[in-house]
A and B are shown apart, each in its own frame.
Chain A
Amino acid sequence: MRIAVVNTKGGVGKTTIATHLAAMFAGLAPALLIDGDPQASAASWAAWRREAGRDPSPTTTCLVGKAVYDEGKNLAKNFGHTVIDAGGRDSASLRAALLLAERAIVPVGASNLDAAAMTDLLEVVELAKDFNAGLDVRVLLMRIDPRTRDTGEMIDYLHENKLRILDARICERVAYRRAIGEGATVAEIGKDPQAVAEMAALFQEIQA
């Protein structure tokens, strides 16, 4: 399976999701993690993971621009699963990731700012479908706070735009930040059972 984790908005948790999915896929079969973000946060995670000697690890590479598609499609042939972290803006890397992927996961926070930023992304996704008609796009609600109305409003907005929403939800938790900084997953750190359960539910749903 080839999965792109994308959003034109930065700071929504793309790298958290991409690195977790890549590590979890690596437990099933050889997995490739393509870091298409110039900030190379996923590559930093991979370096910390290597330093910490964690296993299994995805093979991680940085590709920029059209290379995400041109090189990525050849590299992906050698792996059971490929995860692409592309993003933070409407770049050639993000567009190429949408061509390479079979499924696009769009992490979004539940706020008006996130909803506004989605307009740009929806336009790019529609363009990508001209070339990759089978692209399956799913929205993942991130950093939700069940005490506020924002999540409900965001869900309404997504339904209005006919977007499919994953049942899995990822809440705001320190455990995710700490795990990334250790080159780990929340399951490997094992200190927050709720974070572990959230990520396991997401992985299960994506595989289904």
Chain B
Amino acid sequence: MKAKPNLESYLAGGAAAAAEKSAPAPAPVPAAPVIEQRRTKSIRISPALDMFLKEEAFRRTMASGRRVNESDLIEEALSGHFRESISK
């Protein structure tokens, strides 16, 4: 005869839940970084670039679990482009 199911053990039984339980304590949260001043800039770009930006922002948001917006991507790309000038 099938044993009476136990709800608590069912809910606690997920493989992922077991991994969560054995996970080490989280490291202390580092001090908040100093937020650089930002300036708003309106620019015009091609529809194709606009779509790439949207899709990449969405893809990275989904992959990282935190919001990545189009400004982040533009900043990253321009920082790379002007790296030498910035470091001088």
A residues near B, CB below 8 A?
Answer: 38-41, 44, 65-66, 69, 89-92, 94-96, 99, 120, 124, 127-128, 130-131, 177-178, 180-181
Contact A131 B5 (CB under 8 A): yes
Q: Is B78 an interface residue when CB atoms closer than 8 A count as contact? A: no
Interface size class of B (residues with CB under 8 A): 10 to 19
Residue among B54, B62, B67 with most chain A CB within 10 A: B62
Contact B58 A180 (CB under 8 A): yes
Pairs across A and B, CB under 8 Å, 6 listed: A39-B62, A89-B14, A89-B15, A90-B17, A95-B11, A124-B14
> Which partner residue on chain B sits nearest A11 by CB separation?
B62
Would you list which residues of chain B between 26 and 63 have a CB under 8 Å from chain A?
54-55, 57-58, 61-62
Contact A95 B10 (CB under 8 A): yes
> Which partner residue on chain A sits nearest B3 by CB separation?
A130
A124 to B15, CA, bound (A): 10
| Residues of A close to B61: CB separation below 8 A | 44
Contact B15 A131 (CB under 8 A): no
Q: Is B65 an interface residue when CB atoms closer than 8 A count as contact? A: yes
Contact A41 B62 (CB under 8 A): yes
From A39, A89, A94, A181, B57 is in contact (CB under 8 Å) with A181
From A69, A130, A178, B54 is in contact (CB under 8 Å) with A178
| Residues of B close to A39: CB separation below 8 A | 62, 65
A39-B65, A131-B7 known; A91+B58 contact, CB < 8 A:
no
From B14, B54, B62, A92 is in contact (CB under 8 Å) with B14
| Residues of B close to A91: CB separation below 8 A | 14, 16-17, 20
From A41, A92, A120, A181, B11 is in contact (CB under 8 Å) with A92
Contact B65 A181 (CB under 8 A): no
A131 to B13, CA, bound (A): 14
A42 to B10, CA, bound (A): 25
A28 to B62, CA, bound (A): 29
A66 to B36, CA, bound (A): 41
A92 to B19, CA, bound (A): 11
Q: How near does chain B come to A149, taking the closest CB pair, in angstroms?
A: 29
A65 to B12, CA, bound (A): 9
A38-B65, A180-B58 known; A130+B12 contact, CB < 8 A:
no
